[in-house]
A and B are shown apart, each in its own frame.
Chain A
Amino acid sequence: LHTQTDLTIVKMTEREERRFAEVPRESIKLMAESSGVELSEEVAALLAEDVCYRLREATQNSSQFMRHAKRRKLSVEDLNRALRWSNTETICGYGAQDALPFRPLKEGELFFVEDREINLVELALATNIPKGCAETMVRVHVSYLDGKGNLEPQGTVPTAVQSLSEDLLKYYQQITRAILGEDPHLMKVALLDLQSNSKIAALLPYFVYVISGVKSVSHDLDQLNRLLHMVKSLVQNPYLYLGSYVRSLVSSVMYCILEPLAASINPLNDHWTLRDYAALLLSHIFWTHGDLVSGLYHQILLSLQKVLSDPVRPLCSHYGAVVGLHALGWKAVERVLYPHLPAYWANLQAVLDDYSVSNAQVKADGHKVYGAILVAVERLLKMKALSLTLAAEGSGAGLPGTTTGAVGFRENSPGLSPPPEPLSEPPLGIASHLQAGGAGCPWEEWTPVSLPAMYCELYSFFGDSLAVRFSTGPPLGGATPPGPCQPLEGRKEPASSAPNLENTRKMPQLTASMNISPRRDGSPRSPLSSSSRPGRSTSQSRDIFPKARFPLPQAGPPAFSFIIGGRQMGRRCQGRRFQTSFTPTPPLTTHPPRAYAHKLPVIGRVSKPVRRWTCSHYSLHLPL
């Protein structure tokens, strides 16, 4: 009786009168069929019941082996022993010490043990032969003297790793010295090795411990940067199983993102870049190792939210929270930043409106935060639109399954330290739903806001600076893209922003490289139409909204269409066009047009254009 294999297709049915799992007769029949036997309904039912009983019996017997092995966890080996002693074939291939991921299949109420295929050729030809585990040994220490007190307070490093071989110890010393030392070349080499060395598992706790030292070097940006690089290398090392050390790493990274570092007292220190980098690292850790610690996503969001909602914190902490959320993906922005924006706005506004000289530094920081928020919400809007489109199109012909993974984009916002690699959001759309749901608890009291409503609200904060950045199409005439080095906003405060003080709703004033000519009244009536302008490069033309001269194409619902361009997207980089349409929502009309909003200067710049461009004059271009 190969009852054991049934385990994989056990359907959990909880009947009222019995509280144990049962193998449904369908599974039995399936098993029988797979071995070429037809079973009648009754036989299957009887067999199912017997199988259940035998399984329970085996489990009960196996618990004895667990107890005598002085363990709390029942292992596959225990079950195998019980089976062996009851003269039953044992199960092979499940002896690994690690927990076997038991996954549900949503559609069929099916649960199965994930069984990854192993490339034997690769394994056989692999040059990195894993080092045998450390020697079993006995260490003695006096725990309690005369029944009083603990003599040796045990440090944070687990005792099990106190037994390091000489080589490892040497390696550890060299690596840490190289990374934290002065020589940048040496550091690079060390980091590279850390990234690829397969034999340093035993050192992991040490490295994690070193990294947790960020708290003691918060005055030294350089050291912080080096430590973050070390984190990155560890995270990228494919041979390391980070396990619960992820938590420690995340807390170190979060420290760099959120804490008002001692280094940031000096305005000449570019701690912003550090925070950006740390945020990026955070998202990287989360997307690649987030499944190691349950609830990590939720915890990160919570701590970011806490910082954001704490007005006492300095602006640089807020900045960190915003870039952190941004790095965690638009979902995080939507859930945390967006609901917090109205409350936070008041504080920011107060900072930005203070023109006193003593406030100059704080104000500059405020602009940083402003810029970060702007970038975050812009992406939120874009991604939300994209996800809506994806949802609308589903897995239709126009959308191959790979697109979700391939869609990534880069904010080219100069002041905000663009991500060095396009990984800011690997899983999008549905995938990110799953990720977020799997990694964290469901976010309560959060209701999704519709895209138009969201746009309207955001528009009320940012005005046209949002709209402008949103219309990021390339110039039709093939204008040269502006250089990536836009003038940094926030550093200097131009006087030109003063006249806007009498706005109905005061907008934060930002420096910008150009001004925008006034728009026709009522341009934001339909945010979609305003946002979907095939803009030209803002630096090229003052006539930035030529759309005003266009008649609105139709009275019907506005349509979204945008292009995802990129290497994977299609031959000759043509990109793929997605379209969606909205029915106009009532709140749109209730918003009064903001007469002065369009007068606002715009910060930042839009992205690089894609060379080829399948045209659509209402399109949202997502460059890659």
Chain B
Amino acid sequence: MAAVQDGPMELDAEKEAKPEILSDGTSNLSGNTASGTLSSSPLTAAPAGGAPKMEDQQTLIAVLQFLKRNKLSESVEILRREAGLGEHQEGSQATDGSGGGKGDGDGGDANSLLSRVSITSAAAPQSMPVKKDQPDVSVVLSAYSQQGDPPLYQVYYSGLKNFIESVLDCHRAELSQLFYPLFVHMYLELVYNNHETEAKAFFDKFSGDQECYYQDDLHILCGLTKKEHLKGNEVLLDFRTSRFVLHISRDSYQLLKRHLQERHNNQIWNIIQEHLYIDIFDGMPRSKSQIDSMSGSLAGEAKREVNKAKVFYGLLKEPEIEVPLDDEDDEAENEEGKPKKKKTKKDSLGSKSKKQDPNAPQQNRIPLPELKDSDKLDKIMYMKESTKRIRLGPENLPSICFYTFLNAFQGLTAVDFTDDSSLLAGGFADSTVRVWSVTPKKLRKVKSAGELNVIEKESDDVLERIMDEKTASESKILHGHSGPVYGVSFSPDRNYLLSSSEDGTVRLWSLQTFTCLVGYKGHNYPVWDTHFSPFGYYFVSGGHDRVARLWATDHYQPLRIFAGHLADVTCTRFHPNSNYVATGSTDRTVRLWDVLNANCVRILTGHKGPIHSLAFSPNGKFLASGSTDGRVLLWDIGHGLMIGELKGHTDTIYALKFSRDGEILASGSMDNTVRLWDSMKAFDEVETDDFTATTGHIHLPDNSQELLLGMYHSKSTPVTHLHFTRRNLLLAAGAYNSQ
């Protein structure tokens, strides 16, 4: 809480004084509910900042009442004498004075205040010397009475607005960040206190001032006019209880604080204290564009300290595998005149396997499953394939193969390819999952147990013999879910398939028997996405319940729960080293979670819409995220900073994928296009040393057009999934949309 520590002494005093009065007010509240007379009076007086007579008197009366209640009769006498107040006067105004506190009943605000109150009741008399501290008390009291003054909210807000608009340009942009959270909290407070008409007026007056990227939230807000509505709306409840984080430079903050103190604008100050977290940094104030690029999420920016944790983004050491056949094959390649490729391959693979990357996590930080023979075979295949990989670059763009789903009347909702591009799975809105074989090899089931018993287990072709030739077909349908399937993911060994569905379950399917093996229940709400770990065994899922869960295939309960998102977790991805999980959410943040301890290690803000796609770069250093606003953001995981913004898509980006070597980022969208971006250039242009500078704020070059390498249209097929084959051929998939 940088802001509070930073606060000067008088503020502390203020805070001490405040609670006592509040306790007074709230205790009075029980007796008095109606108060029309007073609430209107400060309307004219208070905003001016001065303390006019009327208010003074109320203050005195309130203090008197407080003293009386605490049985400090002597002080009462003294005060009364000195102020020249008659007993009757006090009585006549008593209702008014306390009635002003009506608004104090507002939920979280009052409660948290009250909790602080309890400790200070003993200290009350000391801080009450009325004569000495007159201004302070009146400030507190006026704030307290004004809290129930709905019409004043507009005055407060516009007062702050005028102030911010009048400050120097460099501060204005920073302080403007306050508008939106203040606006929302003030509006919610009005709604919470049943000042419906005032709330409407307030909304109408100031909603137009808010940044355009908050429009979606404002739409939700403007529908809220009743306290009862607040109860059911979890997103807004979160907004109320969590703190909106702002980054403001020290200078700007001081400016704001001075202003608020001068104006005795305690209403706003309270909100800042209660609901906002101002992360103060030393150095130059940020520019408008810098701020805009980072803001937009539901709860403001990320606190800097959150992103300080060390992330081991390096890749794990490749297991040593003897490749007896490999050499022969490579020899053949060599003769064909491609020695270069072999060299690069050896470099990349060789160095990786020998030296430990300093940024890589310990090999056994997360227990990983041991490699089976079949996995080793697959690795060998992978290496062979990768020697034939085409090196992509701006001059050498990939070919694109489009897998079009025809007659998908039931609605294609999710697609996944296996890593070796041999299988294709589609999740559909009619609750089915369909698996296709992309290669000529047909899909076959394993024979039944009885038939399996007959097979000679020692024979060489036992793996072939266990398959039931009668069941061979190009595609298989998996029935089991009872709601649209929103996410599918193949296991790396191609033996399993995961699917997550609206019915709240994640299901594990065997691709040997084409049956459901496990139904993982835990989300209880729609599960929007699921993803297998690159090493298998673990998988992650995220859903409407706003948490992501880490599972292991052999546990029916989650191993970790990643909680923190303020809204639905819409997409989940494993880091290539399997130690981290990235989640994107409707709250417009991307979070990175440590699988080891379920801690949130990165909060990445800057998206202006729900995030629907994520992709890690193959080297594990970078993350790309795409959202409904059609922008792709690039993140440096090590520093937790945004390093690029790719603008161009006109609709939600549902698919992101880096090429096998990470030179090219492909993005696929609802706007029926695939775009290719020069990710190498995007990463290179950012000097990572810049980040280490204290501010950590970088200026993003607006170079989307330079980075865009190509744009490829499909006729009427939104791109749902993208995949690079091991040889860097780009596969895209989507359902033909006849409309």
Residues of A within 8 A of B (CB): 17-18, 20, 49-50, 52-53, 56-57, 60, 64-65, 67-73, 77, 81, 85-86, 97, 133-148, 154, 158-160, 162-163
Contact = CB atoms under 8 A, between A and B. Distances in A.
B497 to A, nearest CB: 16
B525 A146 contact: no
Given A50-B226, A158-B738, A71 B411 contact: yes
A140 B528 contact: no
27 contacts: A18-B200, A53-B225, A57-B229, A57-B233, A60-B220, A64-B568, A68-B484, A69-B429, A70-B412, A70-B652, A72-B651, A133-B407, A136-B410, A138-B405, A138-B438, A138-B733, A139-B406, A140-B401, A141-B402, A143-B732, A147-B398, A154-B715, A158-B736, A159-B406, A159-B736, A160-B738, A163-B406
Interface of B: 200, 204, 219-220, 222-226, 228-229, 232-233, 396-413, 424, 426, 428-429, 434, 436, 438, 475, 483-484, 486, 502, 525-526, 528, 544, 568, 570, 586, 610, 612, 628, 651-652, 654, 670, 676, 709-710, 712, 714-715, 718, 720, 732-733, 736, 738-739
A17 B229 contact: no
B403 A138 contact: yes
Nearest to B233: A57
A147 B407 contact: no
B224 A162 contact: no
A50 B544 CA distance: 24
A146 B612 CA distance: 28
B570 A53 contact: no
B405 A136 contact: yes
A67 B628 contact: yes
A202 to B, nearest CB: 10
Contacts, number: 146
A143 B738 contact: no
B406 A143 contact: no
Greatest chain B CB density within 10 A among A60, A77, A154 is at A60
A56 B223 contact: yes
A52 B224 CA distance: 10
Contact of B204 (A17, A52, A86): A17
A163 B628 CA distance: 33
Contacts of B438: 138, 140
A141 B405 CA distance: 12
Nearest to B398: A147
Contact of A85 (B204, B220, B525): B525
Contacts of A68: 413, 484, 486, 526, 528, 570
Contacts of A160: 406-407, 736, 738
Most chain B CB inside 10 Å of its own CB: which residue of A97, A144, A145: A144
A281 B408 CA distance: 35
B223 A81 contact: no
Given A57-B233, A154-B715, A160-B736, A142 B407 contact: no
Contacts of A70: 412-413, 652, 654, 670, 718, 720
For the complex of A and B, the 10 pairs showing the least CB-CB separation, nearest first, are A147-B397, A134-B407, A144-B400, A143-B402, A56-B223, A145-B399, A143-B400, A68-B486, A140-B403, A147-B710
Contact of A69 (B402, B413, B628): B413
Given A70-B652, A141-B404, 16 more contacts: A17-B200, A49-B225, A65-B484, A67-B628, A72-B670, A73-B739, A86-B232, A136-B405, A136-B426, A138-B424, A140-B401, A144-B400, A145-B399, A146-B399, A147-B710, A163-B406
B576 to A, nearest CB: 25
A135 to B, nearest CB: 6
Given A85-B544, A139-B403, A146 B397 contact: yes
A248 to B, nearest CB: 15
B406 A136 contact: yes
A142 B400 CA distance: 6
Contacts of A20: 222-223
A217 B428 CA distance: 45
A564 B29 CA distance: 83
B404 A139 contact: yes
Contacts of B402: 140-143
A452 B411 CA distance: 60
Given A53-B226, A67-B610, A67-B652, A159 B404 contact: yes
A163 B484 CA distance: 25
A135 B475 CA distance: 11
Given A49-B226, A85-B526, A135-B407, A143 B413 contact: no
A570 to B, nearest CB: 49
Give the interface centre of A49, A71, A147, A159 by most chain B CB atoms within 10 Å.
A147
A613 B83 CA distance: 110
Contacts of A81: 483, 502, 526
B500 to A, nearest CB: 10
Contacts of B222: 18, 20
B486 to A, nearest CB: 5
A158 B200 CA distance: 51
A32 B409 CA distance: 39
A150 to B, nearest CB: 8
Contact of A53 (B200, B204, B223, B483): B223
Contacts of A72: 651, 670
